[in-house]
Chain A
Amino acid sequence: MTAFHPLVKRLLDGELTLGELPAELRAEGQAALRILAAVDRSPVRLPEALDARVMAQVRRRRASAGSLWRWMAAPRVPVWAAGALAAAAAVLVLVVSRPGASAPPAASVATAPESVFVKFVLYAPDAKRVSVAGTFNAWDASAAPLARAGSSGVWTATLALPVGQHQYAFIVDGQRWIADPAAPAVDDGFGRRNSVLSVSRNGVRTL
C-alpha cells in the first residue's frame, strides 16, 4: 500500500498548511488535497412525503398500543389469576387512582407533572426479594421493593408514576432482571429487554 507521509496526513486533517510542509513533500501534499477537493458537500434534501410516511407509522403504532390498553383494561381478573398461577412470572399493571385528577390544569403539556398510582404485581413464589426498577426511578434496583402478599407467591408495589412513557423491569433476589412476559418489550441496547408502559391522565397502557 502507498502510504501518505505522516505530515501529509496532518495536512489533510487541517493541522498544517501546504506551505508548512517540507519542500520535498509539497507535491505529495498537493496530490492529497485533490482528494478533498473532490468531496461532495452539497446538501441533501429528502422529500416532504417522508414526514407523512413517518407520522402514519407513528399513528399506527399509537393506535395499536391503544387497542392493547383496551384489551388490558377489560375485566379479566379471573383469567389473569389463573394465568399467573401457571406462569413462572407474570406481571400486571393496574391503575389504582389518579392523585392529580383534581389538580388545576398544568401550564402546558410539555411540563405537566401529573402522576398516577400504578400497581405492579409479580408472581414469583420462590423469590426472597423483588423490586421494580425503571426510567421512573433511574433504574435503581433498590428504590422500589415489592411486598409479598401472603403466601400466594404474589409480590406487589404501588408507585406514583408521572404521566409519560416508562420502561421497567423486575429484579428478583437482586440479580435476575425480568421483563413483563405479557407485554411488548424493547431492546435496551445491552442485551436485555425492558417492558414499556404509558401513563396518561386517563389511565395506563402497556405499549
Chain B
Amino acid sequence: MAGEPVAVRDLSDGDVVRAVMAGDAERYAALVRKYRDRYARYATRLLGSVDAGEDAVQDALIRAYEQLAQCRDPDNFAGWFFLILRNRCFAERRRKRREGPLEGAEVPAAPDRSESDLERGEQRRALEASLLRLTAEQREVFVLKHVEELSYEEIAARTGASVPSLKMRMHRAYDRLRELLEDHQ
C-alpha cells in the first residue's frame, strides 16, 4: 500500500538494489549479509583456501557496489553478483598460476581423529590437491557440479557456457583427476 513503510526483510534483491541506486547506500548491507556465505564455499573451493575465498567474496561485494549501475536486472542481483565473483576468482587463479603452482589446500582437520576419519581426511586432501592442478575452467565445473550439486543446465544458466561444452570440460577433469590421484598413491 502506498505510504506504508517497507521492512528490510520484506524487500527483494531488486528493491534493495533500486534503493541503493537511489542513494540509500546503507541498504547494501542487506545484500552483503545475504551473499557473504552463499557463495563462500564456491570461492573457497575454487581458490583452495578459506582466506583466498574470503578475500574474493569481499572484493566482489565491493566491486558489485561500485558497478551497481551496470546491474541491468536488479531482480537477478544473485546471478549478476555470481559473475563478478567468478571473474574475481579466475583472475586470482591466473595471478597465482603466474606466481607458481597452487598447493597447500586447506582442508579442516576432522575433530574426531579415528582411523576412518584420518583416512577420509587424507582422501579429501588428495582430492583438493588434485583439484588445484586442474585448469580453472575444469575446477569450476567440478565445484559447481559436485560441491554445489548443480545440474549441467543450472551451471550453463549461471556461466553462459553450453551444456555439451560443460560436459566435455567435466569429463576431461574426471580423467585428469584419475591420473593425478593415481600419482598421489
Which positions in A face B, CB cutoff 8 Å? 1-4, 6, 8-9, 12-13, 32, 34-47, 50-51, 53-55, 57-59, 61-62, 105, 107-112, 135, 163-167, 186, 188-189, 194, 196, 198, 200
User: For this complex, into which size category does the number of interface residues on chain B fall?
Assistant: 35 or more
- With a CB–CB cut-off of 8 A, which chain A residues contact B175? 1-4
Task: Decide: A46 near B108, CB < 8 A? Known: A9-B171, A36-B146, A40-B45.
Answer: no
Cβ-defined partner of B66 (8 Å) among A13, A35, A109, A186: A186
Determine if A164 and B22 form an interchain contact, defined as CB atoms under 8 angstroms apart: yes
Asked if B15 and A42 sit within 8 Å, CB to CB, the answer is: no
Q: Which of B8-35 contact A (CB under 8 A)?
A: 11, 15-16, 18-19, 21-29, 32-33
Q: Which listed residue (A38, A42, A188) contacts B123, Cβ 8 A?
A: A38
A2-B182, A3-B175, A57-B65 given; name 14 further pairs at CB < 8 Å.
Answer: A13-B152, A35-B174, A38-B120, A39-B124, A43-B40, A44-B44, A46-B57, A61-B66, A107-B3, A108-B6, A110-B18, A163-B22, A164-B69, A198-B21
B137 at interface by CB-CB < 8 Å:
no
B41 touching A43, Cβ below 8 Å: yes
Residues of B that sit less than 8 Å from A by CB: 1-6, 11, 15-16, 18-19, 21-29, 32-33, 36-37, 40-41, 44-45, 50, 53-54, 57-58, 61-62, 65-70, 72, 107-108, 120, 123-124, 126-128, 145-147, 149, 152, 167, 170-171, 174-179, 181-182
Q: Is the interface of B mostly helix, strand, loop or mixed?
A: helix
